[in-house]
Structure 1
Amino acid sequence: MKKSLVILAVLLGIVASLAVASSNMVVEETIGLIPTLDPAWSYDTGSGEAIWQLYDNLIQYDGSSISKFKPMISENIPSESEGTILDNGKTYVFHIRQGVYFHNGDTLTPQDVVYSLERAVIFDRAGGPSWMLAEPLLPEINGTYADSIEQWAVKLAGVKKFADLFVEGTKTPKNDKYKKALIDAFNLLAKDFEIKGNDVIIHLPHAYPPFLYILAHGVSESSILDQKWVASKGGWDGQANTWWKYHNPTREKDPLYSTENGTGPFVLERWTKGREIVFKRFDHYWAGPAKIEYGIIKKVPEFTTRKLDLLRGNANTIYVPRQYTKQIENIPNIKVIKGLPVLSVDIGVFNFNVNAIGNRYIGSGKLDGRGIPADFFSNENVRLAFEYLFPYDAFIKQVWVGQAIVPNNVIPKGLFGYNPNDPKPFSQNLAKATEYFKKAYNGELWKKGFTMTLVYNSGNTQRQTACEMIKFYARRINPKFHVNVVSELWSSFLDDYANGRLPFFVVGWAADYPDPYDFEQPFYSSNGAYGSTLGKNYVEWAKKNMNNLLTESMKTVDQTERARIYTQMNELAHNHAIYMFLDQPLAMHVQRADLKGWYYNPMRPGIDFYSLYK
Structure 2
Amino acid sequence: MRALPAALLAFALPASAQIQDTGTFTYLLDRPWTSMDPARTAEASDFLLAGNVYEPLLAFLGERQSEVFLPLLAEDIPSHENGLLSEDRLVAAFPVRKGVRLHGGSELSAEDVRYSFLRAMIYADEGSAASILLGLLAGRPDSPDPRVLPASELKAAFDAVEARKGALVLRFKRPVPLLLKLIASMPVMTSKDWALAQGDWDGSEADWYARLAERPAKSPLDARMNGTGPYRLEKADSGDALLARHEGYWRKPAALRRAALRVVPSAGERILRLEAADADAADMEDAFARRAKGYPGIRWAESPPLGRLGKLVLFNLRVSSASPFVGSGVLDGKGLPADLFAERAVRQAFSFLFDYERYHREALGSSGRRTDGPFPPALLETAARPRWKKDLARAAALLKGVRGGALWRKGFVLPIAFDAGSPAELVAARVLQAGLESLGPQFRARLHPMERERLRRELDARTLPLAVADFSAEIPDLAAFAYPLLHSGGRLARRQGYSSPGLDALIDEAASSEDPKARRRAWAKVLRRAQEDVPQIWTYSPAEFEACRAGVKGCGNEENVAGLGFLGLPYFYAYSE
Q: TM-score range by the shorter chain?
A: 0.7 to 0.9
Match of 1:521 in 2: 483
User: Which of 273, 289, 292 in structure 2 is aligned with 1:309?
Assistant: 273
Using the TM superposition, name which of 580-589 and 37-46 deviates more.
Answer: 37-46
**Once the two structures are superposed, what CA deviation does each residue of 1:551-598 show, in whole Å capped at 9, x if it has no partner?**
222333222322222222222222222111101233333211111123
Would you say 1:190 and 2:189 are equivalent positions?
Answer: no
Seen in structure 2, the aligned counterparts of structure 1 residues 298 and 291 have a Cα distance that, compared at 3 Å, is same
Work out the CA distance in 2 between the residues paired with 1:492 and 1:107. Answer: 42
User: Which of 188, 206, 220 in structure 1 is aligned with 2:174?
Assistant: 206
Q: How far has the Cα of 1:534 moved from its partner?
A: 1.8
Decide whether the 8 Å contact of 2:125 with 2:131 is kept in 1. Answer: no
Work out the CA distance in 2 between the residues paired with 1:103 and 1:302. Answer: 34
Decide whether the 8 Å contact of 1:186 with 1:240 is kept in 2. Answer: no
Query: In structure 2, what residue type is equivalent to 1:435?
Result: A
Decide whether the 8 Å contact of 2:307 with 2:474 is kept in 1. Answer: no
Q: Gapped runs of 5+ residues in structure 2?
A: 1-21
Match of 2:549 in 1: 592
Match of 2:209 in 1: 244
Work out the CA distance in 2 between the residues paired with 1:124 and 1:532. Answer: 18
User: Which of 209, 215, 219 in structure 2 is aligned with 1:254?
Assistant: 219
Work out the CA distance in 1 between the residues paired with 2:503 and 2:31. Answer: 32
Decide whether the 8 Å contact of 2:146 with 2:213 is kept in 1. Answer: no
Match of 2:505 in 1: 548
Decide whether the 8 Å contact of 1:453 with 1:503 is kept in 2. Answer: yes
Using the TM superposition, name which of 36-45 and 206-215 deviates more.
Answer: 36-45
Seen in structure 2, the aligned counterparts of structure 1 residues 262 and 445 have a Cα distance that, compared at 3 Å, is farther
1:112-511 maps to which residues of 2 (within 5 A)? Answer: 112-123=112-123, 125=125, 130-140=130-140, 147=144, 149-150=146-147, 152-153=149-150, 182=151, 184-216=152-184, 219-220=185-186, 223-247=188-212, 249=214, 252-273=217-238, 275-338=239-302, 340-346=304-310, 347-355=312-320, 357=322, 361-363=325-327, 367-415=331-379, 417-420=380-383, 424-511=386-473
Decide whether the 8 Å contact of 1:367 with 1:445 is kept in 2. Answer: yes
Seen in structure 2, the aligned counterparts of structure 1 residues 456 and 104 have a Cα distance that, compared at 3 Å, is farther
Match of 1:574 in 2: 531
Using the TM superposition, name which of 322-331 and 426-435 deviates more.
Answer: 322-331
Q: What is the SS of the residue equivalent to 2:416?
A: strand
Q: What is the SS of the residue equivalent to 1:255?
A: coil
Decide whether the 8 Å contact of 1:339 with 1:587 is kept in 2. Answer: yes
Work out the CA distance in 1 between the residues paired with 2:459 and 2:32. Answer: 16
Seen in structure 2, the aligned counterparts of structure 1 residues 375 and 24 have a Cα distance that, compared at 3 Å, is farther
Q: Gapped runs of 5+ residues in structure 1?
A: 1-22, 154-181
Work out the CA distance in 2 between the residues paired with 1:29 and 1:444. Answer: 53
Decide whether the 8 Å contact of 2:307 with 2:475 is kept in 1. Answer: no
Work out the CA distance in 2 between the residues paired with 1:605 and 1:325. Answer: 14
**Once the two structures are superposed, what CA deviation does each residue of 1:25-61 show, in whole Å capped at 9, x if it has no partner?**
2222233343333333325534222211221111112
Q: How far has the Cα of 1:204 moved from its partner?
A: 2.1
Work out the CA distance in 1 between the residues paired with 2:94 and 2:411. Answer: 60
Seen in structure 2, the aligned counterparts of structure 1 residues 145 and 412 have a Cα distance that, compared at 3 Å, is closer
Query: In structure 1, what residue type is equivalent to 2:430?
Result: E
Query: In structure 1, what residue type is equivalent to 2:260?
Result: I
**Once the two structures are superposed, what CA deviation does each residue of 1:224-245 show, in whole Å capped at 9, x if it has no partner?**
1322333333332221222232
Q: What is the SS of the residue equivalent to 1:25?
A: strand
Work out the CA distance in 2 between the residues paired with 1:58 and 1:267. Answer: 18
Q: How far has the Cα of 1:371 moved from its partner?
A: 3.7
**Once the two structures are superposed, what CA deviation does each residue of 1:316-371 show, in whole Å capped at 9, x if it has no partner?**
222333333454223321101336353432222212234464x5554555554444
Seen in structure 2, the aligned counterparts of structure 1 residues 613 and 493 have a Cα distance that, compared at 3 Å, is farther
Work out the CA distance in 2 between the residues paired with 1:390 and 1:400. Answer: 15
Work out the CA distance in 2 between the residues paired with 1:487 and 1:284. Answer: 48
Query: In structure 2, what residue type is equivalent to 1:608?
Result: Y
Work out the CA distance in 2 between the residues paired with 1:579 and 1:43. Answer: 22
Q: From the CA coordinates, give the structure whose radius of gyration is larger.
A: 1
Query: In structure 2, what residue type is equivalent to 1:431?
Result: A
Query: In structure 2, what residue type is equivalent to 1:138?
Result: A
Work out the CA distance in 2 between the residues paired with 1:284 and 1:494. Answer: 41
Seen in structure 2, the aligned counterparts of structure 1 residues 50 and 562 have a Cα distance that, compared at 3 Å, is same
Decide whether the 8 Å contact of 1:371 with 1:452 is kept in 2. Answer: yes
CA root-mean-square deviation: 2.9
Q: What is the SS of the residue equivalent to 2:268?
A: helix
User: Which of 517, 539, 553 in structure 2 is aligned with 1:560?
Assistant: 517
**Once the two structures are superposed, what CA deviation does each residue of 1:503-552 show, in whole Å capped at 9, x if it has no partner?**
333333334333222222221112223223223xx1xx23x222222222
Seen in structure 2, the aligned counterparts of structure 1 residues 571 and 402 have a Cα distance that, compared at 3 Å, is same
Query: In structure 1, what residue type is equivalent to 2:81?
Result: S
Seen in structure 2, the aligned counterparts of structure 1 residues 425 and 88 have a Cα distance that, compared at 3 Å, is same
Match of 2:48 in 1: 49
Q: How far has the Cα of 1:214 moved from its partner?
A: 0.3
**Once the two structures are superposed, what CA deviation does each residue of 1:210-256 show, in whole Å capped at 9, x if it has no partner?**
1011011xx34x52132233333333222122223211656643333
Query: In structure 1, what residue type is equivalent to 2:155?
Result: N
Q: What is the SS of the residue equivalent to 2:401?
A: helix
Seen in structure 2, the aligned counterparts of structure 1 residues 306 and 441 have a Cα distance that, compared at 3 Å, is farther
Query: In structure 2, what residue type is equivalent to 1:457?
Result: D
Query: In structure 2, what residue type is equivalent to 1:193?
Result: V
Decide whether the 8 Å contact of 1:56 with 1:223 is kept in 2. Answer: yes
Q: How far has the Cα of 1:473 moved from its partner?
A: 1.9
Decide whether the 8 Å contact of 1:57 with 1:72 is kept in 2. Answer: yes
Q: What is the SS of the residue equivalent to 2:539?
A: strand
**Once the two structures are superposed, what CA deviation does each residue of 1:99-132 show, in whole Å capped at 9, x if it has no partner?**
3333333332111211222233344556655442
Work out the CA distance in 1 between the residues paired with 2:440 and 2:38. Answer: 46
Match of 2:10 in 1: none
Match of 1:607 in 2: 570
Decide whether the 8 Å contact of 1:42 with 1:129 is kept in 2. Answer: no
Q: What is the SS of the residue equivalent to 1:66?
A: strand
Q: What is the SS of the residue equivalent to 2:49?
A: helix
Decide whether the 8 Å contact of 1:511 with 1:603 is kept in 2. Answer: no
Decide whether the 8 Å contact of 2:34 with 2:46 is kept in 1. Answer: yes
Q: What is the SS of the residue equivalent to 2:537?
A: strand
Q: What is the SS of the residue equivalent to 2:491?
A: coil
Q: What is the SS of the residue equivalent to 1:549?
A: helix
Q: What is the SS of the residue equivalent to 2:67?
A: coil
Using the TM superposition, name which of 106-115 and 436-445 deviates more.
Answer: 436-445
Work out the CA distance in 1 between the residues paired with 2:511 and 2:127. Answer: 22
Decide whether the 8 Å contact of 2:362 with 2:427 is kept in 1. Answer: no
Work out the CA distance in 2 between the residues paired with 1:42 and 1:433. Answer: 40
Q: How far has the Cα of 1:427 moved from its partner?
A: 0.6
Seen in structure 2, the aligned counterparts of structure 1 residues 301 and 439 have a Cα distance that, compared at 3 Å, is farther
Query: In structure 2, what residue type is equivalent to 1:384?
Result: Q
Work out the CA distance in 2 between the residues paired with 1:471 and 1:146. Answer: 34
Decide whether the 8 Å contact of 1:382 with 1:437 is kept in 2. Answer: yes
